[in-house]
């Protein structure tokens, strides 16, 4: 064989041993990167899922009930001195029947957020306790509304309780 042919034949490819070593190192490196990426990604999702399920478990232990709604006229704007007067007031009594205390953050009457005269929101109701929220709804008499009032109570954990109550 000529000298040129021998040289060409030797430099044409990588040897089998070197090729096998390169492929093995490349496969191990890519596998390691994939395992590290997957463990970090799933660890992040697992941590956030744990937080979500813990908060939902607490929300399930919270239970509210609208116990009583009282419509009346009052002589003063703070709804004191019930009786005849020009201030229309609503007392809404909310009971916590759950296993943990509940923080009331919003109360809606007919779909509109209302601020109670007393107590101020947010308000925490202890376990097996009730609290009456006093509202001045409007002035000038109750009028002739025959539809019931839609009352919603919202807690800090996202729970809601709602009911229809009619003015007698």
List, for residues 72-123, the tens digit of each pLDDT value. Answer: 878 777 777 666 667 788 899 999 998 889 999 999 988 888 888 889 899 9
User: How many other CB atoms are found less than 10 A from the CB of residue 47?
Assistant: 10
**CB 101, CB 127: distance < 8 Å:** yes
Of residues 160, 141, 142, the one with CA closest to residue 151: 160
Q: Where are the domains of the chain?
A: 3-60, 63-165
DSSP assigned state of 142: -
* pLDDT tens by residue, 5-64: 555 555 566 688 888 888 999 999 999 998 888 887 777 666 666 676 666 677 778 889
Is CATH 2.60.40 the classification given to domain 63-165? yes
pTM flag (> 0.95) = no
């Amino acid at each position: 064989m000529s000298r040129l042919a021998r040289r060409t034949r030797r430099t044409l490819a990588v040897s089998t041993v070197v090729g096998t070593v390169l492929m093995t190192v490349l496969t191990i490196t890519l596998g390691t990167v994939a395992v590290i990426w997957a463990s970090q990604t799933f660890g992040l999702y697992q941590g956030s899922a744990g937080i979500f399920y813990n908060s939902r478990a607490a929300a399930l232990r919270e239970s509210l009930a609208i116990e009583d709604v009282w419509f009346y006229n009052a002589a003063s704007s703070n709804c004191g001195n019930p009786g005849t007067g020009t201030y229309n007031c609503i007392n809404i009594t909310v009971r916590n029947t759950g296993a943990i205390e509940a923080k009331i953050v919003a109360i809606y009457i007919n779909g509109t957020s209302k601020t109670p005269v007393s107590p101020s929101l947010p308000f925490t109701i202890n376990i097996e306790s009730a609290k009456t929220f006093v509202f001045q709804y409007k002035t000038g008499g109750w009028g002739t509304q025959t539809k019931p009032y839609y009352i919603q109570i919202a807690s800090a954990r996202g729970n809601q309780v709602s009911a229809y109550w009619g003015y007698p």
